[in-house]
Structure formats: C-alpha cells, structure tokens
Amino acid sequence: MAGAIVNLSEATFDEEVGASSEPVLVDFWAEWCGPCKMIAPILEEIAAEQAGSIRIAKVNVDEAPDLARRFEVMSIPTLILFDNGVPAKRMVGAKGKPQLLEELAEYL
Amino acid sequence: MTHHEVVIIGSGPAGLTAAIYSARANLAPLVIEGEPSSNSDQPGGQLMLTTDVENYPGFPDGVMGPQLMADMRSQATRFGAELVTLKVSKVDFSARPFAIWIGDPDAHVPAYTADSVIVSTGARSVMLGLEAEQRLIGHGLSTCATCDGFFFRDQEIAVVGGGDSALEEAGFLTKFASKVTLVHRRDALRASKIMQQRAFDNPRIEFAWNTAVVDVVGDTKVEALALRDTITGEERDLPVTGVFIAIGHRPNTDLFVGQLDMDDAGYLITGSDRSTTNIEGVFACGDVQDHTYRQAVTAAGSGCMAAIDAERWLESRCD
C-alpha cells in the first residue's frame, strides 16, 4: 500500500532499505519512549502525504538491538534517512512536523 | 485566523488544569500545547520524561508521568477544550484582542486572537553550556533518561545534578547501567529526603561531591567527563560512556520578553496570591512563574487559579 510504514527487522533491513528506489527514513524507536510515541502520528502523516518521494520505515530497538548498534543509535527517537541504501542524514530527538519537513526538504 | 475567549499556551499540569476549569466554565478554551521534542519543552511538559510520579495526590500506587498527562488531556477535551499541537512563535499583548502567531512570526495576520491568555509554558532543563554538548548529544549525551537508559546496559555512566530529577534519573538508570556516578557541585543534595535515602541505599550509585564538570570528552561519542574538585582544584577524568544532565530548569519566557514583567532569572512575575501579570487579561501559572515549589500539584493548583482569575476578569468586562 502506498504510504504504509513498514516495520524492519534484522532479517529484512538490508533488502528493504538497500533495494528501495526512493530514500527511506528509518525511525529507531521503542514502546517505552514517550517522545517516540509523540512523533509516530506525524511520521504516519508524512508517509501518506509524501508517498512516491520518500518511504518511512520503523526499527523497534527492543526487537532489533543489533540494528541500533550497527547504526550507533544511543538515543531515541533517532531518524536516519537512507539514500541509495546509505545513511545520508541523521536527526536525533523528537521534532514537530514543520521542522521535520524542513529537514527532509531536499528529498521531497 | 480564529478568535477565542481564552487561549492557553502550554499543556503541562498547569495549562491542562486551566483548560479543564475554563472548559467547564463554558469558555471553550484553545490550548496551544507545543510541539514534540526530546526535552521538557513539549506537549505534556516535564512529566512526559519521567516514569513513576509518587507524590501526586490520588494515586496511592503512583502513576506514570505520561499516563497522568494523557489523562489530564482527555479530561480537558471531555469538557470541550480544543488542543492544537503547535508552537507559538510570537505574541502581541499590546493591542486587544491579543494576537498569537504560529510559524512565520512576520506573517501579516496572526493565527489566533484571544480576549484573555493564560501562559503556562513551563520550564526546560538547562544544559551545561559546553561546546561538546551539541556534538555529543545522541552519542552518549542525553536529555531523556527514560528514552536512552536502555542503550547503557552494563556500562558506567554519570548523572550531573543534585536535585530530585537528578536522583530520579540516577535511580532509573541503575536498572541498566552497572554504575552511575552522581556528579554534584556541593557536599549535600537539594533533593527530598526520601529520594536522598534511596540513592544512598542504592549500591550502584556512587557520589562525586564538590565536583564541577569542566568538559565532556569524546570526538564522536562520549568517553569521559573532565571534572574539577571545587575545593582542591584538582582535575581528573571520569571514564563514562553516557552522561545525563539534570542541573536545573529555566523558564520558557523568551516569547514574552519586553511584554510581561519577569524577574532576573526570567520567571514571570504574578500578583501576590494571584495569577495576574502586568497586562490585564494575561494570566500565568505553573513553573513559568514559580521558582519556589515547582511541583506537578502546585502547577495544577495555580492552573486552577489562572482559569478562575481569567473567567472572573472576562465576566467583569461585560458589566
């Protein structure tokens, strides 16, 4: 479905992110993180509105701690934008929608 | 542009209590609750970054901070308060109705106008002001223990500060870290006695007394804290992989400089035993005007005062 957010696991990460024709914004999050929950609806809106420009995916750091380690995530939410499978931009901490869109502007 | 009789700026315990009271007075308040962030300047305020709240009356077993705020929020909406997840960029209290901008502060037309405004923007945690902080935030330096404690399992970390929030963070972090060193400038803590006793009894918490932070060491991630003994002047490095800062708070009053009276520390000045400010029709409540108590329950109490003061003022204008 266009604009749907996929959950990535250690098994699916490389295929989903590496093979994507569009940039993928990956949200590293966890159930116990308040600011992560607060930006979740914003990311859903962006995923729906920007379908075709970028994709949004999530990594639950509780379930995929190796992915968090691999990308040196030590604070959540951390958002990493992968362009052609390579980390191109990193944003640490929750932000409002206008700020997020501004940070992502060059990819939209 | 929409007009409201009451606009509440901020959505911690003060703002949401003001919203509950104003909504029940049929004033259909608008709450501009702020935008998400990873510090306490966010919807729900400082309690969004805490875990167990044990001193809010009515919860004998304690309550999770984010849950308490979610409940206050739904209580406010139940009675007709409208909440928007936006951040105010400018206010103009010099003309009536009062004008409030969102986004571009130079926009010709404000986003909202209001007959009365209740300011409950709260306070945000203070950083050390070191250049290293910007570089290392998210790389071992954190503003949110509940978010990031997980990443420091079996590691040695430090908490800087000596108040209740520092001790709460230190205690929470011992669930993950093998050792937490509490770095404090003085030889005694400001925290409440019960929090102090818990920290002293916790075998994973060590104390570095009379100790100031000189720098956070590390190029791409935190490697150590550079410390100085405030009595002997001796300097040393404390090897840690994580640093959590809890040295205090500063009121969120930048928006109101030049319009509302504030003290030297930036706290809004309110009338004695009232929520009134120097501008008739603008009221203030919660931590933005309280540097003495700073509790969720005192914030809620002052939010109630502000709502009642605003309601009476609006009524008096109609006479």
For residue range B125-139, what is the model confidence (pLDDT) as tens digits? 888 999 999 899 889
Considering only residues A70 and B134, tell me which one the structure prediction assigns the higher pLDDT: A70
Minimum-distance CB partner of A35 among B36, B65, B139: B36
* φ, ψ at B53 (rounded to 5°): -100, 115
Minimum-distance CB partner of B37 among A30, A35, A36: A35
User: What's the pTM?
Assistant: 0.88
For residue range A29-49, what is the model confidence (pLDDT) as tens digits? 999 898 998 899 999 999 999
Q: What is the mean pLDDT of residues B67-86?
A: 96
- CA B120/CA B283 separation, integer angstroms: 9
DSSP state letters, B39-95:
SSSSTTGGGGG-SEE-SSTT-TT-EEHHHHHHHHHHHHHHTT-EEE---EEEEE-SS
**Nearest chain A Cα distance for residue B42, angstroms:** 9
- CA B229/CA B213 separation, integer angstroms: 9
Angle between helices B13-24 and B296-318 (to 10 degrees): 40
- CA B302/CA B286 separation, integer angstroms: 6
**Helical spans, DSSP H, in A50-94:** 65-70
Tell me if B48 and A78 make a contact (CB, 8 A cut-off). no
- CA B239/CA B183 separation, integer angstroms: 13
> Can you read off the two tokens belonging to residue A3?
């604009």
Q: Beta B242-245 vs B156-160: how paired, if at all?
A: parallel
Q: What is the mean pLDDT of residues A66-86?
A: 95
Nearest-by-CA chain A residue for B102: A98
**Nearest chain B Cα distance for residue A88, angstroms:** 17
pLDDT over threshold 80, residue A27 = yes
**Closest listed residue to residue B251, CA positions, set B123, B153, B93, B145:** B123
Tell me if A34 and B242 make a contact (CB, 8 A cut-off). no
